Amino acid sequence: MAVKEIACARLIAAHRSERHAAIFHNRAAFLGYQRWRSLGERYMRLIFGMIIGAALTVGGAYIADAMAGREAKPIVNWSVVAENIDTVTALARAGWKRIAG
């Protein structure tokens, strides 16, 4: 009987320590978010993350295309991208001239 009681006590202690660790972990996970209190800072952080994500995606595609051999089909048609960027730049300049006078 003593062996069963000891095993039962160990199981209960292990369960309590696991529960305590889970509670402690959950509290620790949210401590980092408490410093971002204002709504504006959260949105700024989100927008910054989206910009970084887009830059990493485009940069990764460019690097993959640059490292591929001449026989490999590129992921992105970079000449079309260049034409689109030129068009957007021209539209932005025309809009700015219209606004600025």
Is 24 contained in some domain? yes
Closest CA to 76 of 85, 90, 50: 85
pLDDT digits (tens, 9 = 90+) for 51-94: 999 999 999 999 988 888 888 888 888 888 899 999 999 999 99
Instruction: Find all residues with CB under 8 Å of 69, minimum gap 6, and list them.
Output: none
**Euclidean distance between the first and the last CA atom of the chain, given in angstroms as a whole number:** 94
Is 3 contained in some domain? yes
Domain span at residue 22? Answer: 1-35
Is 23 contained in some domain? yes
Domain count, the chain: 1
Distance separating alpha carbons of residues 70 and 72, to the nearest angstrom: 6
The pTM of the full predicted model, rounded to 2 decimals, is 0.49
Distance separating alpha carbons of residues 98 and 95, to the nearest angstrom: 5
